[in-house]
Structure 1
């Protein structure tokens, strides 16, 4: 498809000559590099409570961000108005902020390479509203009929279709159409003693409506949310102290994302504020651990054909057999650190500057049978899923709350426990990994990552992992 057939050319009559003129203005006061990031998003959000559709919103956001790089200095300006005058003003503003040695805009723009990771003929955003409403009504009915203890159900469905266009002073020109959809179900259940517990399940990705209907996901998500709530009703208080911890496959990979992944983003390492700074080539984890960030996985929530700087995404091995191999880069960090761009320059919207961010981050499968991992633990705790957590990038220290966990006694899962909090240090915890399962699982597609006020969709994953020593905070 030629540029004249692209969304922004058709919708806003943009031409390559316009883009070159604005890039030239952005570098009119000097600088090493400039780019234009155009964005247009159509979004819908539906929510259900008490078996009634309580809210439904639809909207459009659009705008352009203009960036100029001059050494380590960044000039950035944006406009929510795509008239030529406003774009020109944004370019001049960014130029003034980042004024530096003069650079020249390459004459002519060439379409850059990009992948084809989400071929969705009909995105959810282009289906009927009634079909989307039907999904959350199905989830509500399935949850309420699953168990009499369920007394409240909330369900929501959100989708959007995002169009982006990135033009750079190095001559690259890239555009992309990015669908996204997500279904969420949460329930409250009350036990015979009056105690109330909640359960949650959701998922999605860069998929169409058929992803949810063909797999009966409304019913599956609803039943899983109910199961979690019922398990919590039976749970006792978690014991506190140092013990062996086994992480279940899938969503527990959020611990890897937070405790390790953020510390491998290149901006933190360029500033030498990460626990992993200046450690490339060193052993930072057990030899059983290989950690990958891969933005080029088909249909995944964290995947992109190109990142938000126009660089094609790819599979990046960060830790290989316990040895640190590299960091996640955007254009600025790759230039300043003399490394190749990894396709990890991401931003929340046209109003934000791109920075190094994760996409889909996971640990590769090992060779151990998950059942054998459990059998190897005389006493410990098994964490099936997590809620919130936080990490200090500089030290690597983290705190995570497990929302579903069980005691391991004499090599068997026994009683469910609640209130378990994992406390540790990211690099240190990985050194205590003694078994890695052969059951790698990726999350269902619910991840949202925050950094410096920006949120972006991500994916996580992990196989069953045994950590010989970790501190567990609890109430017992």
Structure 2
């Protein structure tokens, strides 16, 4: 965003006074800023035939940071006043001391605007939201007599930020977020299974509340639930796995994405540390992190340090060519920030984080990839998972997966988990589909206790030799 006159969230704070306090706080430091935030959010949940919860939250505050070398002093407050700023400045200064730092160059201003600045909470009346949820419930139950429970939710929020830097520049951004989520439970012959679908992004609610949009989500949730009614216990063992396009990219996001963030590599804690320029994945594998895709959940016009978001290539044709960087780690590694400095809120310090992380497509038809699978699993939906960031070892549970033998897709399987490590999985990618897709807009990423919205994506992939945890050995 372009530099704008400093008016932190339109409060009564005086610009000159705030700037003087900030400059005093970072005297002798390498970098620092004042981060102001105002956030409002609304959530409605319709469950078991009634409006179960409706919430509205609002918060505002600031965070003041002073950085010197590997150390950062940070203080935050919900009180937007000169007195609170002075207390925060005194606290932040304790970390940087009185030594002389080398001041970092300021972020370059940008005019990019990747999403609307309209308030999505005000985009539809409360009664309309409640009526839509009731319609979703009725629609799902009418679709199939086996539906015994429906849960539907609407969430909308808007975040206003302003970043004041010691050079006197000020950067502002207004970030909307919306999401609609639908879950159904079906029952047949005493067996119950569930399915979930949803999505959204940095868009208004009008499109998500349109009948054709939520009806498609409802049908998808029902489809997954009905498929799982016929699921058999998953096999266990080492086998080839085909991953579907779009949301299954969450596995690569977790297994390799965190390992390509600058802080872990600077500290030597990543499995990919020291491998810049080396072949770390199969030929043809190209992975990007791109925060500039319009309206996407993980997109940001500027990051939370004021650096414009960018389209960054991380792996190119199997070779490691870049890490995701915030300002502090980039400076310590002798490179430029990539616009990946993100924080959960004013109460959190920024760190290198992903935005929209995805793999580019190849030239193989997805049907041919499945047909080449001799004995394995075709996984198209994922639920929860666990990852050890330092070595990339992961365990992911499948919400929709199928047994495949001799290229023929067989029965759905239940209870399948995929176990492996990112560094090995990258090298064992055997086929890349020509059907790249992004997820529908439902990702959240956790790191060191902070959560931020993200996007993922990939084409259909075959990965060889993953361990599948299931109910039976074959």
| TMscore range, shorter length | over 0.9
Partner of 2:170: 173
1:31-430 mapped onto 2 (5 Å cutoff): 31-102=29-100, 112-121=109-118, 123-192=120-189, 194-214=190-210, 216-430=212-426
Q: Measured at CA, do residues 94 and 304 of structure 1 come closer, stay the same or move farther in structure 2, by a change above 3 Å? A: same
Distance in 2 between residues matched to 1:125 and 1:163, nearest whole Å = 15
Measured after TM superposition, the shift of residue 299 of structure 1 is 0.2
Distance in 2 between residues matched to 1:323 and 1:215, nearest whole Å = 45
Q: Measured at CA, do residues 203 and 95 of structure 1 come closer, stay the same or move farther in structure 2, by a change above 3 Å? A: same
SS of equivalent to 1:390 = strand
Measured after TM superposition, the shift of residue 214 of structure 1 is 4.4
Q: Measured at CA, do residues 388 and 422 of structure 1 come closer, stay the same or move farther in structure 2, by a change above 3 Å? A: same
Partner of 2:8: 8
Partner of 1:22: 21
Q: Show CA shifts across 1:75-102 (max 9, x none).
A: 0000101022112211221112322424
Measured after TM superposition, the shift of residue 120 of structure 1 is 4.9
Q: Show CA shifts across 1:420-453 (max 9, x none).
A: 1111110111111111111111111010000000
Q: Is the 8 A contact 1:43 1:125 kept in 2?
A: no
Q: TM-score, length-normalised on structure 1?
A: 0.95
Is residue 440 from structure 1 mapped to residue 439 from structure 2 by the alignment? no
Worse-matched range after superposition: 243-252 or 393-402: 393-402
Distance in 1 between residues matched to 2:3 and 2:280, nearest whole Å = 47
Measured after TM superposition, the shift of residue 2 of structure 1 is 7.6
Distance in 1 between residues matched to 2:141 and 2:307, nearest whole Å = 46
Distance in 2 between residues matched to 1:298 and 1:215, nearest whole Å = 23
Partner of 2:458: 462
SS of equivalent to 1:56 = strand
SS of equivalent to 2:79 = coil
Q: Measured at CA, do residues 368 and 100 of structure 1 come closer, stay the same or move farther in structure 2, by a change above 3 Å? A: farther
Measured after TM superposition, the shift of residue 274 of structure 1 is 0.5
Q: Show CA shifts across 1:229-249 (max 9, x none).
A: 111111000111111100000
Measured after TM superposition, the shift of residue 329 of structure 1 is 0.3
Gaps of 5+ in 1: none
Measured after TM superposition, the shift of residue 16 of structure 1 is 3.4
Q: In the comparison of the two structures, how many residue pairs are matched?
A: 470
Measured after TM superposition, the shift of residue 124 of structure 1 is 3.7
Is residue 474 from structure 1 mapped to residue 473 from structure 2 by the alignment? no
Q: Show CA shifts across 1:90-116 (max 9, x none).
A: 12211123224246999xx99932420
Worse-matched range after superposition: 299-308 or 136-145: 136-145
Gaps of 5+ in 2: none
Distance in 2 between residues matched to 1:417 and 1:400, nearest whole Å = 14
Distance in 2 between residues matched to 1:459 and 1:431, nearest whole Å = 23
Measured after TM superposition, the shift of residue 223 of structure 1 is 1.4
SS of equivalent to 1:240 = strand
Worse-matched range after superposition: 253-262 or 50-59: 50-59
Distance in 2 between residues matched to 1:146 and 1:41, nearest whole Å = 38
Distance in 1 between residues matched to 2:451 and 2:3, nearest whole Å = 32
Q: Is the 8 A contact 2:32 2:166 kept in 1?
A: yes
Q: Measured at CA, do residues 392 and 103 of structure 1 come closer, stay the same or move farther in structure 2, by a change above 3 Å? A: closer
Q: Measured at CA, do residues 212 and 120 of structure 1 come closer, stay the same or move farther in structure 2, by a change above 3 Å? A: farther
Q: TM-score, length-normalised on structure 2?
A: 0.95
Distance in 2 between residues matched to 1:98 and 1:131, nearest whole Å = 52
